[in-house]
Structure 1
Amino acid sequence: MTMRFRQIEVFHAVMTSGTVTKAAKSLRVSQPSVTSSIQQTEQEIGFPLFDRTGGRLTPTAEARILFEEVNRAHDSLVAIERLCGRLKEGAAGHIRVAATPAISQRVLPVAITRFQKQHKRFTFDISSEHSPVILSNLDERPMSYHMGFTFGQDDLDGIGSIKIADLPIYCALPVKWLERLPVKPKENKPLDLELLRDFPCVELYENEPLGQRARSLFLSAGVSPHNVVRVHDHHMAASLVHNEIGFAILDALAIHNLTRSEQNPGIATFPLENKPTLPVTAVFSQKRNLSYPMRYFVDCVVSAIKEVA
């Protein structure tokens, strides 16, 4: 048996409001109508949703389990209803996007603002996730992401990708440490990582592209850093440098995010030998066609990165 939208709506209202009276009020219907809908739903699915004692409804164990899925379905159905309304008024659409935290914090707000100047009727679902989660949710399922924005550029089965930027990579360290270095590095000149051999380091996990890049740079320099903290989030790594926990290998976007969020970021940044970079990539399921609006959104993200990085 499949619950119809109206049954889902009534069940959701009773579960979230706690009483038939409040559910009826939120749905703008009569209490007998809500009671009748619940009873009919119970008859059709073959098990009780509520225990009725003393005029009160108490959700059964089955109802609580069912509600977990009904809650997600309800949100999707409401989104569909709203989209239908916008389509009736004119061209519209909805885009589900996921991005790594460093990209979502500064880049996506600028990109969405730019996008909606041309496509005012579009709406967005935005998720901040790490790359493995994004890549595992790019397919043709109804609630999967239409597109993701990640660091690195891997060839994966079923995943299409477009490299949209190369972010410069720097070594960032607390300003106060400069006087403690054996040799004071020259501004805007490549930093010898050997100078930081005995200093604590904030490390990005190796399953993060920036973490992999940093490890390669340390190996090339013959340095084994003293790692005191490991993180996934680039912005968190920058904040830890700001708090003098350690130095870190960071991309230009993470450094920019920190300097924008702190009045006195207190970090010094230096380029590295051979000017290493970190790719930023738009990823999507090869089973989905990239519509014109989604391609335009990619262009907006490219412009936003140039603006904020």
Structure 2
Amino acid sequence: MRFKLRQMEVFRAVMISGSVSGAARLLYVSQPAVSKLLAHTETNLGLKLFNRSSGRLTPTKIALSLYEEVSHVYDAAARVDAFVENALRGPSGSVNVICSPSLGLSVVPRLIAEFLQAHPQVTIRFHTTLIQDMQTELLSGKADLAICVLPIEAQHLKSEKLMQGQMVCAIPDGHQLCEHDVISLSQLEHEKLVLYSRSIPFGNMQVAAFERYGCNVLRTVEVPRAELACSLVRQGVGIAIIDQFSVEGNPWHGVTIRPLKEEIPISVSLVRSVFTKPDAAADQFVELVQRRLSEQYYIKL
């Protein structure tokens, strides 16, 4: 191995700190030791990594590119270190959870909170992502499971539908439609609407619903996410049609939520890779997701 781990460590420290003295402080070694190993690294690799002038080090173009690669190595090493740490903590381990943005505002955080109350030694790594990126994260092992608002049909993924919700209407407080308990699409034909972008699945579902029910609507603003739509509704820009999961409990002051008369159904699925190895913590979280989403929320499939 031409570029050894210790050399990577010293090189990275110099790049981060910008100097030999700074690298020495980061690594708790002497400056001469850093200078010697850095010079040996350049000789060994046959590459000039730094320009030296008046005691200053300026990274070369190749050094900047090399630093990106070394950063990837350190990220991987950090994951290995986290794995070892979790292994030492026992079978509790960690669970990498991803979900659709609309589920990340209330539904999934509630599940995580309940799970951690019962399993405080488990580490949850959680973020939202778009449905088109979930397949890559699951198959690469970056995520143990995905909870998504639309089914994912892909090779090597297993998907289980757990519940079904609907799209709903978000109306500015004080608007005349707030007086109605249920809103029909026909009532929205002359209103300014904030809708999902037609480039995403939710947007396509809305377009199909308008065509199916013969509605001509005024599309004022297109957005990729429900929280953006609600922000616009609160400012009086228009009325939004969004998924109900994004506004569970209606956390938006100044926005009234009403169900739609016409159904625009949304199914929630649990997705895992067929290559995922059995893991006690992940399996326990999956069991909680299956139980809660099937029993308590919305319309059971």
TM-score after normalising by structure 2:
0.85
Mapped to 2, the partners of 1:268 and 1:127 lie a distance apart of: 26
Unaligned runs of 5+ in 1: none
Which runs of structure 2 are paired with 1:16-55 in the superposition (5 Å)? 16-55=16-55
Say which SS state the counterpart of residue 91 (structure 2) adopts: coil
Q: Does 1:79 align with 2:76?
A: no
Range 72-81 or range 87-96, more displaced: 87-96
Q: CA deviation at 1:152?
A: 0.8
> What's the counterpart of residue 148 of structure 1?
146
> What's the counterpart of residue 163 of structure 2?
165
Mapped to 2, the partners of 1:20 and 1:108 lie a distance apart of: 46
Report Cα offsets for 1:19-54 as digits up to 9, x if no partner. Answer: 121222122222223223323332333312212222
> What's the counterpart of residue 112 of structure 1?
112
Q: CA deviation at 1:285?
A: 2.5
Q: Does 1:202 align with 2:190?
A: no
Q: CA deviation at 1:245?
A: 1.6
Mapped to 2, the partners of 1:162 and 1:299 lie a distance apart of: 12
Aligned partners of 1:106 and 1:308 also within 8 Å:
no
Q: Which of residues 260, 270, 275 in structure 1 aligns to 2:259?
A: 270
Say which SS state the counterpart of residue 283 (structure 2) adopts: helix
Mapped to 2, the partners of 1:4 and 1:91 lie a distance apart of: 33
Report Cα offsets for 1:168-192 as digits up to 9, x if no partner. Answer: 32122223331xx6xx8642x4x22
Aligned partners of 2:12 and 2:70 also within 8 Å:
yes
Say which SS state the counterpart of residue 278 (structure 1) adopts: strand
Q: Does 1:235 align with 2:223?
A: no
Q: Given the superposition, is the C-alpha separation of residues 85 and 295 from structure 1 closer, same or farther in structure 2, using an over 3 Å criterion?
A: closer
Amino acid at match of 1:117: Q
Q: Given the superposition, is the C-alpha separation of residues 79 and 163 from structure 1 closer, same or farther in structure 2, using an over 3 Å criterion?
A: same
Aligned partners of 1:107 and 1:304 also within 8 Å:
no
Aligned partners of 2:105 and 2:246 also within 8 Å:
no
Say which SS state the counterpart of residue 168 (structure 1) adopts: strand
> What's the counterpart of residue 282 of structure 1?
270
Q: Which of residues 204, 207, 211 in structure 2 aligns to 1:215?
A: 207
Q: CA deviation at 1:163?
A: 1.9
Say which SS state the counterpart of residue 268 (structure 2) adopts: strand
Q: Given the superposition, is the C-alpha separation of residues 228 and 61 from structure 1 closer, same or farther in structure 2, using an over 3 Å criterion?
A: same
Q: CA deviation at 1:132?
A: 1.1
Mapped to 2, the partners of 1:303 and 1:29 lie a distance apart of: 54
Q: Which of residues 272, 279, 282 in structure 2 aligns to 1:291?
A: 279
Q: Does 1:224 align with 2:222?
A: no
Report Cα offsets for 1:123-163 as digits up to 9, x if no partner. Answer: 3433322111223333136xx33322221114222222122
Mapped to 1, the partners of 2:84 and 2:16 lie a distance apart of: 25
CA RMSD of aligned residues (A): 2.8
Aligned partners of 2:102 and 2:243 also within 8 Å:
no
Aligned partners of 1:198 and 1:225 also within 8 Å:
yes
Range 191-200 or range 211-220, more displaced: 211-220
Say which SS state the counterpart of residue 193 (structure 2) adopts: strand
Report Cα offsets for 1:189-210 as digits up to 9, x if no partner. Answer: 4x22111111111121234333
Aligned partners of 1:107 and 1:308 also within 8 Å:
no
> What's the counterpart of residue 248 of structure 1?
240
Mapped to 2, the partners of 1:15 and 1:38 lie a distance apart of: 11
TM-score after normalising by structure 1:
0.83
Mapped to 2, the partners of 1:82 and 1:284 lie a distance apart of: 22
Aligned partners of 1:193 and 1:223 also within 8 Å:
yes
Range 226-235 or range 161-170, more displaced: 161-170
Mapped to 2, the partners of 1:134 and 1:154 lie a distance apart of: 9
Aligned partners of 1:149 and 1:281 also within 8 Å:
yes
Range 298-307 or range 21-30, more displaced: 298-307
Aligned partners of 1:140 and 1:285 also within 8 Å:
no
Q: CA deviation at 1:302?
A: 5.4
Q: Given the superposition, is the C-alpha separation of residues 67 and 106 from structure 1 closer, same or farther in structure 2, using an over 3 Å criterion?
A: farther
How many residues matched? 297
Mapped to 2, the partners of 1:118 and 1:150 lie a distance apart of: 24
Q: CA deviation at 1:233?
A: 1.0
